Structure formats: structure tokens, C-alpha cells
Amino acid sequence: MTTTATIRMARTEDPTPNTFWARLGSAFAMFRNAKSITGLAILGFFVLIAIFADVLAPFSPTQVDNTARFQPPSAEHWLGTTHIGEDVLSQVIFGTRGVIVVGFLAAILATVIAIVVGVVSGYVRGWKSEGLSALTNVFLVIPGLPLIIIVASMFEEPPLVLIAAVLGITGWAWGARVLRAQTMSLRNRDFIQAARANGEPLRRIITVEMLPNLMALIAASFVGTVTAAILGLTTLSYIGVIPVNTYNWGTILNWASAQGAFRQNQWWWYLPPGLCIAAIGVALSLINFGIDEYVNPRLRSAGERARAMKKKGLNVNDAVTVVRSVEVPATRREARE
Amino acid sequence: MTTLEFDSVTKVYHVRGAGQMKALDDVSFTLSSGQTIGLVGQSGSGKSTIAKILTQLETPTSGEIRLDGTPIPRRGKGLRDYRQQLRMVFQDPFASLNPYHSIRHHVERPLRLDNVVPKKEVEDEVRRLLDRVRLDPDSVIDRRPHELSGGQRQRVAIARALASRPRLLVADEPVSMLDVSIRMGVLNLLADLQREEGLGVLYITHDLATARHFSDEILVLNQGKVVESGTADDVILRPQNPYTQELRAASPDPESHFASAPGLSGGAR
Amino acid sequence: MTAVEPQLPVETPDALEVGTTATTAVKGRSRIPWRFLGSRALFYLFTLWAAITINFFLPRLMKGDAVDQYLARNRNVTPEAADALRALLGIDTDKSIWQQYIDYWGLMLRGDLGVSLLHGLRPVGEVISGALPWTVGLVGFATIISFLIGTIGGAVIGWRRGSRSEVMIPITTFLSTIPYFWLGLLAIALFSVNLKWFPIGKAYGVGYSPEFTPEFIGQVIHHGTLPAVTIIIASLGGWMLGMRNMMLTVLDEDYITVAQAKGMPNSRVLWRYAARNAVLPQIQSFALSIGFIVGGTIVMEMVFSYPGVGKLLLDATNGKDYALMQGVFLVITLSVLVANILADIAYAFLDPRTRQTEA
């Protein structure tokens, strides 16, 4: 009896149509998991608040009301009042603007620099590459916060754009380093060699062939920089280096701390701004987790595999897999006789 | 007829921390259109270096490469013209296509870069090329590389290589990463294309059997030096150089008796 | 204290670029990777030069009047100190920039950082060395503890993938994304003001001076517990996540399967094979995070009024004591460089591949 084998074409789903929306959708595939979507939703919530602050806030953040000082939350003031009767809720709502604007501006600046320095230094060879890498490492090693403190203290009233610029300039090095390493590894891949051998011009190789493959890294780096910029801004505001005429969550905490809110248990004043910072931080981290799992599928499947095995009574770390039963087809047994 | 002369080429690499490494040592051969030359050698013998030098991804330390008698220019229009004449099929079907782009993009790019056909006809030409490599254009053209099998990807790579209508083709171990059962299909395709288009093919491989089957002449490379060359039958059946003889002895021969092989007689009777 | 950085696939260090298919394996003869250390030393010298040069330009970028009035406001400065301040800050002088630069280097090499106006005209170097041990002691201690707990915890969580211990990851990550200063303030509000377990700030009680008595050391520990614990909690997440991700990647490798198939006990596979390889990028990221740790220490010292270099910098900034600002920035940068060098040395000895490129 002969055994026959039929080789079938692997059944694949219909190819993704070549429409604009389909391609856009697959470009953002890294965001299509539960973690990223949750993170994006929370982030979107804060962005909306920032945009519609005028409409949403019940009071002006600087509206002083000396009859209602240090008040705990009430029907009129959902989050209570400050030491001079300002509405905390309104301050938090308006504070969202500074945070979002500075965070994104700084991250855009830092990411653009990181892409230019990182990809170029990864693609070229020799002393140009080493030189850019050394520059990146210098920016990486020199401590950022002390530098920002000193620079910010030189100005009386630094505008938001300047703060964003300084945060961006001190924050691009990490992304550049990562992009350089990835570009160097991409550069030796065959499809890049094929493009070079076909005579593709350099700018097309970098923009059309390499950049799409770097998208996940760039996105992760961008998100990480937004987080760092927001934390940096609020920390600097709390310290007082950034003057308190701009409203962001850090300055609110600065006032709260200066007025002894922490010592007097005025939790409605100091909890909400901090929780907002934490919430945005969590949202951005979730987005990054989602991107991590997209880039490194091992992270995604490791836990699932272990849980699936556990259901069958197996431990993923066992060295020996128990074989339950073996079926030997009748034909084979005959052949052995 | 197009002739490529690889003349006394030496290539030395500088390795950080380990000094110098001579990848090629005074290698010479001539490739003409209408002919297949097999380049045989083990890993590290310098085969891929020759491929890289031919496609101008590396430059020789010494020696010259001439196309139809004139040395290959390093830049400018001359280099572009040369690049159009010689194309390469890479070894790894999983790495030679950009995972982000569709098959259409891959076959289209060379057509657009070299203005092979007018813009209106590019789509038709892409389909024609895919058909020539025996792929169904409709089911493949919009897919991404990861949706295709290894054999299909390699056919796409061949279509891409043929797009600019080159006279010469370098195939760097085109089937060594494919399933054994589909290797002959792809190699037969290459042979048919070579015959129909009159291409000159440099077939780089470590597999003696297919080298003999598909090549007119064979070069044997050992540690960067050509140790033997001649017609395919001469080199394989009557090897002069001890290295070639070793290579031949190491290839499994299905015609020899099992019993004569030591250590196997104690097995199943 | 750090934002959770993206946990990306690890890249090979620069020292390992080998661009060809070498057919012979080169056996390393010496145990000390001189080449690797040599190129790193070159880099650090360059960074040191860059830091000192930045330091040189910082006060010169500030608004002219503020700096010029500096000396005018303080008449009690000795002539030598005044000269040093002029050279450091670039005030009141007709010398060219290049000449100022050379004078500045002269001061640096002599270790003269000027005098501090906020601290009674004591030399800046002396002021800083009074504060430095507090910072290095507390932050160094807390960081090492956090690194150890996070790395070991991450290794165990990675090993037990899919188990309930996975829940530690989101918890510690959340704690990392909370702004550190807020965490510190909350800790004070809860533990110092309400529960009264710990004092509110400072390194030791008011009215005491540093001495090596058990009583004083007890005070130091009492005062330092809250800051140290908050640092540990805030930075734990980053280490744990990084180590756990590396473990998952390493455990997928074939040599782990081989080790298990050989019958090696699980604890040995976990610690001597998997963790040992997964920890290498951790050390690299430790080196890189030193810069961020320094930033975090400034915040911590402000929140807890801890007398370290961070608080020194903040006081100097508020009090416009430019010489002190310059000096502290320099010392902070130098500390970061030294820490990076130590981490590089540790990495060079732990990763056999760096040793292998020596032939």
C-alpha cells in the first residue's frame, strides 16, 4: 500500500485591497491591540479636555473668591477650592492645555532630531557615523534635568515654546541611539541591498524602504518622549523653576505645597493634579506596551502559551513532555513484518 | 552578445580587532550572455563577495571588471547603465523582499527607475513579469511578502531581477533556503528564462549536483582562490584538484550500495 | 523616578561590528578587553571635555547685567577669589573668549571652583563635598536595592510566565509613571503628617551635627527611610519590566531547551543560564539610567529637604549663586561619567563577546 501525499496551496485570506484606507489601517496595525487602544482612548480624553477647556470649566481658573477658601468638594466646586477660593476643577481642566501642548511639541522636536541623527548615522559608514554616534552619546550622558534647571533659571518668563524646545533638545538622544542600531541592522538586510543594487537613490531608500520598517520604533520613541516631557514639565513647574503664571498640573501642585495643603490634609487640592499626571502616564505606557508586543511577538505569546498549557495540566517549564498516547496506523505495522 | 570580464580581482576586508581578511585572491573569469557559469564552493569561500562586487555593493581592492571591454564606471550614468545590465537574485527569500511593501511595489520599482516601459504600461508589464515566473498575477500582486511561500517569494525576486531586462543575472544560492521539493521547479524556471532571453547567468551554489545540471562551465572556489575551472562535466566527473575531489566525495551519491558504507550494516535487515 | 522607557529588542554594542563571514573563530587570549575599554575611555574623555566646555559657556549665556552685578553685590570677596570668579563666570574682563577658556581650564585642573556666596564665601569645592556623600549614599543605596529587587523579581516573573505573579508588572509600572515628586509628597502626607512614623524631612534632626555615634546613625536611618523607600518603589517598575522582557526573549532560545533536556535542575537553568544572559542589557540600561537618576535626586532632595547636591543646585539657582551652580553641574556630570565608566567595566567583564574581539 502506498502512501500518498497531497500538497495543497496554503489557504490564505483575500489579499488586503490596495485602497488608501486599507493601507492606512495596516500602517497602524501596531495600535490594534487592547492595551494600545485603551491607552489611546485615555489620551484622547485628555486631548479633548485640553481643546474644549473653555467650554468645560465652570469657572475661570484665576477667579478669586475670598468667601470660599480651602473648601472641600461641594456641589458648586466639584473639587473644592484653593487658598484664595479658586476652583480646583477649573484649574485642573485648564492645566491640561499646557501639559498636552508642551508634551507633544517637545516630543515632535525630539523625534525629528532623533530620526535625522539616528537614521543617517545608522546608514552611513565610517567617521561620519561614529561622529554622530559620539554626539548622541554625549547628549545621553550629560544629565538633562540639572541642565534644564540652569537654563530655565536664566529667563524671567520662559514661554511654553521655549520650554518645549529645551525639553526636546535634552530628550532626543535615547531615540536616536535606538534608531541608529536598528538602521544599522536594517541596512544589511537583503531587500535594502537589492534596492541599492537596483540603483534606488539614497533618499528613496531611506524614506520609502527603511522608514516604514522603523515606524514601530519611531512611534514607541515618540510616546516615550511625550511621557518624559510631561513628567519633566510638571516636575520643573513644581520645583518652581518654571514660573507660575502658566497653568499646568505641576504649578497647581506647587501652590498646593507652598500653602501647606499636604500638611493640612486638603486632599482635594493635591490629589487630582497628581492623579491626572499619573493617568496620562499610564495611558502612554499602555500604548507603548501595545507597540512592544507588536514589535516583539514573543512577549505576546509567551503568557498565552503558558496559560493554555496550564489548562491541560502541563507546566511550561517542564523539561519532559508526557506523551499521552501513540497511534500507529495499520499499514506501517504490516510493512514491518 | 554581452561579455563580462572579471579580471584578477582581489578583495581584502579589514576586520576591527582581527586584522585583515582576504576574501578573494586574484580571481578571474568571463561570463557571456547565453551561457551559465556555476560557481561552487563552501561557506566562506568568497562566492557572495563575488556577487557583491558584481552588483557594485562592494568595490575590489585590486583588479578590474569590464563590460564589453570597457571598465565599469563608479558613478554617474555609466554606473546606472551597468546596473541595468546586471541584476541579482538573493539567497534568502525571507529577507530579500521589503516586508512593508506589496509585490506590485517590488516589481514596479525597477521598471520605473529605469523607464523600461512608458508609465501607462507599467501595470501590464508587472503582470506580464509575474506571469513569466509562473505566478498568478491577480492573486499575488496585492499581497505582502509574508503572505507568500518561500518558493513564491523567490519567483517574485526573479521577476524583479528581470524587470529591467538585464543581459546578465547573478543567482546567489537561489534555492538553498527553499524546501527541497520545490528547488527543481525554481531552477528549471531559471534555466528556461536563461534560454528564452539569452541571459548570461552566474549560478552560485554549494550544491555540486545542480551546478553540474544547469551550468555550461564550473568554477571551484576555495578560500578566495579559483582552484579549478572547466566544462561542467570535466570538473565534476574528472576533478583534478584535491579540493574538488574532496567536494565530490562529500556529496551523497544515491547510487552506491548501502552495505558498502561502514557502520550501516548492523541496522535493519 | 524614570518614565518607563520602551522595551525594545536589544541591539549589539558598537564594539562587536564584524562585517564579514570570517571562517575561523578567533580565540581571545587576554581576559582584559583592552580595545573595548580603550574606545570607551576615548569617548569619556571627549564627553568630559564637552561637559566642561558647556559649563564654561553656561554663565556666559546669561543676561549680562545679572552676572556683572554679581561681584558688585558682594564686597567681602578676597582678590584671589574675585579673580577666580571672573575667570569662571566671564565677568568684568577684557580678555578674549579664547583666553578666558584657557584660564578656565587652568582653574579646573587646579580644582578651583570659586567661592560660594550663599555659604559664607567658603570654597565651592568644600561646599559640594559636604553635600555629595549624602546624595551618593542615599541614592546609591536605594538604586542598588531597587536594581536588585527589580532584576531578581523580573527574572522570577519571566520564568513563571502566565502565572499570577504577572500582576506585579502593571502595578510597578503604574508606580513608575506617577510623578516622583507627587509620590514623595503623598508619602510625607501619609506617613509623616498623619501616621507620624517618620520625620518630615532633612537627613538628621535639627540641632545635631554629623558624627559617628550610633545615635546619629540611627537618626540618619530614620530620616532616610522614607526617601529611600519612595525611590525604590518608583524605580522598581523599570527594572522589573526590562528584566522580565529579556527573560522571555532568552527563554525562547534553543540553548535553554537543551539545558533542560540534559536534565539540569530548573533553578540552575533559571539563574545560571537564562538570568545570566538576560541581565546583560539590564546593566547597559543601568548605565544609561544614571543620568535620569541624577535628575530624580534633585526632586527627592527638594521634597524631603535632604541636604544633598540636588538641593544645593536648587538653592544656588534661586539665590543666583552662579559659581555654585556651575560647580554643582560639573560635579553631577562627573559623577554620571564615573558611574557610566564603572557600568561599562562591569559589562566588559560579564559579556564574553567583548573579550572575544581581542585576538
B2-21: per-residue pLDDT in tens? Answer: 888 888 899 988 877 678 88
Cβ contact, residue pair B142, A16, below 8 Å: yes
Residue B124 confidence (pLDDT): 93
pLDDT at C2 over 70: no
Q: How far is the C-alpha of C27 from the C-alpha of C326, rounded, in Å?
A: 48
Residue A128, phi then psi, degrees to nearest 5: -65, -40
User: In the structure grid, which three cell numbers stand for residue C136, read together?
Assistant: 551618593
The pLDDT of B132-150, averaged and rounded, is: 91
Residue type, A3: T
Q: Which chains touch A (3 or more CB pairs under 8 A)?
A: B, C
* A·B CB contacts under 8 A: 66
| CA nearest to B135, candidates B106, B113, B112 | B106
Helix A267-295 to helix A249-258 angle, to the nearest 10 degrees?
140
The more confidently predicted of residues C55 and C19 is C55
Site of grid cell 533659571: A153
Q: How far is the C-alpha of C316 from the C-alpha of C128, rounded, in Å?
A: 11
The more confidently predicted of residues A305 and C42 is C42
Residue C325 confidence (pLDDT): 84
**pLDDT tens per residue across span A146-183:** 888 887 777 777 778 888 898 999 889 888 988 998 89
Q: How far is the C-alpha of B266 from the C-alpha of B145, rounded, in Å?
A: 48
The pTM of the full predicted model, rounded to 2 decimals, is 0.78
Residue A13 confidence (pLDDT): 46
* B·C CB contacts under 8 A: 30
Q: What H or E segment, with its residue span, contains residue A280? A: helix A267-295
Residue A114 confidence (pLDDT): 94
Confidence of residue C163 (pLDDT cuts 50, 70, 90): confident
The more confidently predicted of residues C359 and A22 is A22
**Quick check: B4 and B66 in contact, CB under 8 A?**
yes
Residue B204 confidence (pLDDT): 94
Cβ contact, residue pair A197, B88, below 8 Å: yes
Site of grid cell 544609561: C288
Interface mutation target, options C12, C16, C21, chain B, most CBs of B under 10 Å: C21
| CA nearest to B186, candidates B215, B225, B151 | B151
List residues bridging with C119 in a β-sheet: none
Interface mutation target, options A186, A196, A198, chain B, most CBs of B under 10 Å: A198
Residue C98, phi then psi, degrees to nearest 5: -65, -40
**pLDDT tens per residue across span A170-226:** 889 888 988 998 898 888 888 998 998 888 888 888 888 888 888 888 998 999 899
Confidence of residue C93 (pLDDT cuts 50, 70, 90): low
Question: 59-98 in C: which are within 8 Å (CB) of A?
Answer: 61-63
pLDDT at A101 over 80: yes
Contact residues on chain B for A209, CB-CB shorter than 8 A: 98, 101
User: In the structure grid, which three cell numbers stand for residue C192, read together?
Assistant: 509623616
Cβ contact, residue pair B13, C19, below 8 Å: yes
Which residue of chain C is at minimal alpha-carbon distance from B22?
Answer: C22
Cβ contact, residue pair B104, A10, below 8 Å: no
Check residue A82 and report its DSSP letter. Answer: -
- Listed in sequence order, the DSSP H helices in chain C are 34-61, 64-73, 79-89, 97-110, 124-159, 168-177, 180-187, 214-251, 254-261, 266-268, 276-304, 309-318, 322-350, 352-356
- Burial bucket for residue B252 (CB in 10 Å: 0-12, 13-18, 19+): exposed
Contact residues on chain B for C19, CB-CB shorter than 8 A: 13, 15
Residue A25 confidence (pLDDT): 63
Counting every residue written for chain B, the total comes to: 269
Q: What share of chain A is helix, strand, coil (3-state, %, to 5)?
A: 70, 0, 30
Residue C113 confidence (pLDDT): 77
Cβ contact, residue pair C358, B17, below 8 Å: yes
Cβ contact, residue pair C185, A154, below 8 Å: no
Interface membership of C197 toward A (CB under 8 Å): no
Q: Which of B90, B113, B164 sits opposite A200 (nearest CB)?
A: B113
Confidence of residue A6 (pLDDT cuts 50, 70, 90): very low
Helix, strand or coil, per DSSP, at residue A99: helix
- Burial bucket for residue B138 (CB in 10 Å: 0-12, 13-18, 19+): exposed
Which residue of chain A is at minimal alpha-carbon distance from B99?
Answer: A213
pLDDT at A270 over 70: yes
Site of grid cell 564686597: C75
Q: How far is the C-alpha of B140 from the C-alpha of B97, rounded, in Å?
A: 14
Residue C249 confidence (pLDDT): 82
Interface membership of C16 toward A (CB under 8 Å): no
List residues bridging with B70 in a β-sheet: B67
**Quick check: B143 and B102 in contact, CB under 8 A?**
yes
pLDDT at A313 over 90: no
Q: How far is the C-alpha of B179 from the C-alpha of B186, rounded, in Å?
A: 11
Domains in chain A and their CATH numbers?
19-336 (1.10.3720.10)
CA angle A176, A294, C245 (to 5 degrees): 75
**pLDDT tens per residue across span C118-135:** 777 788 888 888 888 888
Cβ contact, residue pair C159, A317, below 8 Å: yes
User: In the structure grid, which three cell numbers stand for residue A202, read together?
Assistant: 539614497
With a pLDDT cut of 90, the percent of chain B lying above it is 43
Residue B29, phi then psi, degrees to nearest 5: -165, 170
pLDDT at C11 over 50: no
| CA nearest to C240, candidates C339, C146, C161 | C146
Contact residues on chain A for B102, CB-CB shorter than 8 A: 18
Q: How far is the C-alpha of A199 from the C-alpha of B114, rounded, in Å?
A: 9
**pLDDT tens per residue across span B76-132:** 788 888 888 899 999 998 899 998 889 999 999 999 998 888 999 999 999 999 999
**pLDDT tens per residue across span C270-295:** 888 888 888 888 887 777 677 677 77
The pLDDT of C297-307, averaged and rounded, is: 86
Cβ contact, residue pair C47, A142, below 8 Å: yes
Residue B36 confidence (pLDDT): 93
The more confidently predicted of residues C20 and B134 is B134
Q: Which of C161, C181, C336 sits opposite A238 (nearest CB)?
A: C181
Tell me the pLDDT of chain A averaged across its residues: 79
Torsion of CA A262, A264, A265, A266, to 10 degrees: -90
Which residue of chain B is at minimal alpha-carbon distance from C18?
Answer: B15
- Name which of A164-168, A315-319, B61-65, C115-119 the model is least confident about: A315-319
Q: How far is the C-alpha of A248 from the C-alpha of A97, rounded, in Å?
A: 7
| CA nearest to C357, candidates C33, C13, C40 | C33
Interface of A with B (CB under 8 A): 7, 10, 12, 15-18, 189-191, 193-200, 209, 212-213
CB atoms within 10 A of CB B253: 8
User: In the structure grid, which three cell numbers stand for residue C309, read together?
Assistant: 547636591
Q: How far is the C-alpha of A76 from the C-alpha of C31, rounded, in Å?
A: 73
Tell me the pLDDT of chain B averaged across its residues: 87
